[in-house]
Structure 1
C-alpha cells in the first residue's frame, strides 16, 4: 500500500518526465516528448501523465513540477524560461484547475538541489548548494531540506554574477545573453567554456582531449578548474554551505573533484575550507526527483 505518494514532473525542452516516490522509493517513472511551442497541449499532457500514473498505482499523490524558468512572485506567471511558450503563462493555476488540487512549481536547478539535499549526496547536511554545470549554469540553495526562496524567486542564480578575481588569463570579455558581460555562465557552461578555448571542440570533446593528453585541452581544463574554484569560493564566502553538489554534463568529470577542492583555500576567506564538494548521487534523475520533493513538509 502506498502511504506517502509524491509525484514529480520535470518539464524539459525535449521531454516531460514523471516520477512517483513512495516514502522516497521510486515506484513509477515515465517520459514523453514535449509538445514544441504548444502550451495548451503541454498542460494537457502533464495532466494526462498524472492521471495515468495515479490510475496505475491506485492512489493519488501530491504534484510538484520542475520548470526551465521561474514563477514570478509578482504576478504568478512564468518568467526567465528558455521554453518560450511558457513565458507569461499561469502554469501553476492552469495545472491546479486541471488536476483539482494544489500544485507546487520550482526552477529545475532548485529541484536538483532539493533532490540532492533530501536523499542524495547532500543528505543530512544542514545546508546544500546545488550547482548545474551544463548548457547553462544554475544553482539552488536548500537549508534544513527546505528550498530557500526570496522576493524575486532567483535564489541560487550564481551563474549571472560576474566571474570573481578576473585576470588577463581569463581572456577577452564576452556578452552573456542576459545583457551583462562576463557572467560566470559565459565561463563555466559547456558552450561558454568551449567558445572561450577557441579549440573548435565542444565541452565533452575538450574533457576527452584533456584526458588523452592534449596539452591545449589540458591547459583549458586547468583554467576551467581555477575559474570554477573562484566562482564557488564567492558562494562559500557568502552563504558558507556545508555541501556543494555538482550536476550537469560537466560534473561527470572526476578530475573536477580532485583539482577544484585544493584551489578553494586560495579564494575562501577562511584558514581552512570545510565545505564538501561532491558529485550528484542521482545524476540526471535529480531534477524530477526534486520536483516530487517539493512536497516535503513531512521532513520539516
Structure 2
C-alpha cells in the first residue's frame, strides 16, 4: 500500500493506492494556519486513520509547497511559510516511525498526470500549478526531475518581465515574480489595480462570461502573461504536454486560448505542445506523492 499526502495551504489530503494505482481511501483535514507542530500532528493523525481503517501499514510520500534544501535538510521556498527552516522530513520520520519520501507538490502533480493522467504516454511533461501560488514540475520518462538544488521546474519565481513601474512584491522577497501575476490572488490583485473591484478569480470568470468588459480585459491580460511565461519553459524544456493544475486550471477558456498566446513566443515555426486539464483534478498531487515510492 502506498500512502500519499498533499500538504496544501488550506487542506492536508491523504490517499492510499494499491499496486495498480487504484484508490483505496481518501480523506482530508483543514491545514492548521501558521502552526508547524499542529501541521505535523495533522499529518500523523491522517496516516493513523488511514492505516487503522485499511488494516495495514504503507509507505508514505509527501508533497509540500516548497523544497527541501539538499545541504541542510530544512524546508525553503514554501508559500506555507510555517514550514520554512523546519526539518520536516526528520520530524515526520520520527513521528511516523518510518522512512518517508518528500517532494515538491508540483513535482507530485506532474508525476501523477504523467503516469496515469492527462499526459500518460508522453516522454516529457511540464505540470503547472496555478492556485494560491504558482509552481511547476518536470517529468522525463516517467520520473520527476529534482535538480541540483531541488528546484527543477520552479518557474513561479522567475521574473515575468512585465513592463510595470511598481511590480507587485512576492513573499520570496523579490518583486514581479510570475507568481505575483499568475496565481489566484495575483489575478484578483491585478483586477483590483485596473478596476478597483475586489473579486476573486471565479467571480471574474463569471462576470467576463456575462459580458463585463473589465473582467474580460483582466482575463485577457492573464492569458497573455501565462502564454508568455509558458513559452519560456517550452523554449527551454520543449515538453510534449503541459498539464495545468490548481484552482485556475478550471477555467476552460485557457485550453482554447493558450496555444495562440504561447505560439508567437516559442522558437519554432509551429506549436505542437498540448495544453490540457488534469485527469485527476485536485487529487493529482496526493496521487503523485504516493507514487514517489514507485
Unaligned runs of 5+ in 1: none
Tell me, yes or no, if structure 1 residue 116 matches structure 2 residue 109: no
Report Cα offsets for 1:98-149 as digits up to 9, x if no partner: 3332100112222111111111111111111011111221111111111101
Structure 2 partner of 1:267: 265
Number of aligned residues: 289
Q: TM-score, normalization: structure 2?
A: 0.91
Residue 252 of structure 1, aligned match among 226, 250, 258: 250
Residue 148 of structure 1, aligned match among 112, 121, 145: 145
Structure 1 partner of 2:171: 177
**Runs of at least 4 residues off by over 6 Å:** none
Say whether the 8 Å CA contact 2:79–2:171 is kept in structure 1: no
SS at match of 1:64: strand
Q: Structure 1 residues 84 and 136, CA, compared in 2 at 3 Å: closer, same or farther? A: closer
Greater Cα offset, 155-164 or 34-43: 34-43
Say whether the 8 Å CA contact 1:171–1:196 is kept in structure 2: no
Counterpart-to-counterpart distance in 2, 1:184 and 1:44: 33
Say whether the 8 Å CA contact 2:9–2:132 is kept in structure 1: no
Structure 1 partner of 2:187: 193
Tell me, yes or no, if structure 1 residue 132 matches structure 2 residue 126: no
Counterpart-to-counterpart distance in 2, 1:281 and 1:162: 30
Say whether the 8 Å CA contact 1:104–1:294 is kept in structure 2: yes
Residue 238 of structure 2, aligned match among 231, 237, 240: 240
Report Cα offsets for 1:21-40 as digits up to 9, x if no partner: 01210011122233444433
Counterpart-to-counterpart distance in 1, 2:201 and 2:261: 21
Counterpart-to-counterpart distance in 1, 2:189 and 2:10: 24
Counterpart-to-counterpart distance in 1, 2:33 and 2:185: 23
SS at match of 1:17: strand
Quote the RMSD (CA, aligned, Å).
1.9
Structure 1 partner of 2:213: 215
Counterpart-to-counterpart distance in 1, 2:277 and 2:83: 31
Say whether the 8 Å CA contact 1:226–1:263 is kept in structure 2: yes
Structure 2 partner of 1:44: 41
Q: Could you tell me how far 1:171 is from its partner in structure 2?
A: 7.4
Q: TM-score, normalization: structure 1?
A: 0.90
Residue 223 of structure 2, aligned match among 215, 225, 228: 225
Residue 288 of structure 2, aligned match among 287, 290, 295: 290
Greater Cα offset, 263-272 or 52-61: 52-61
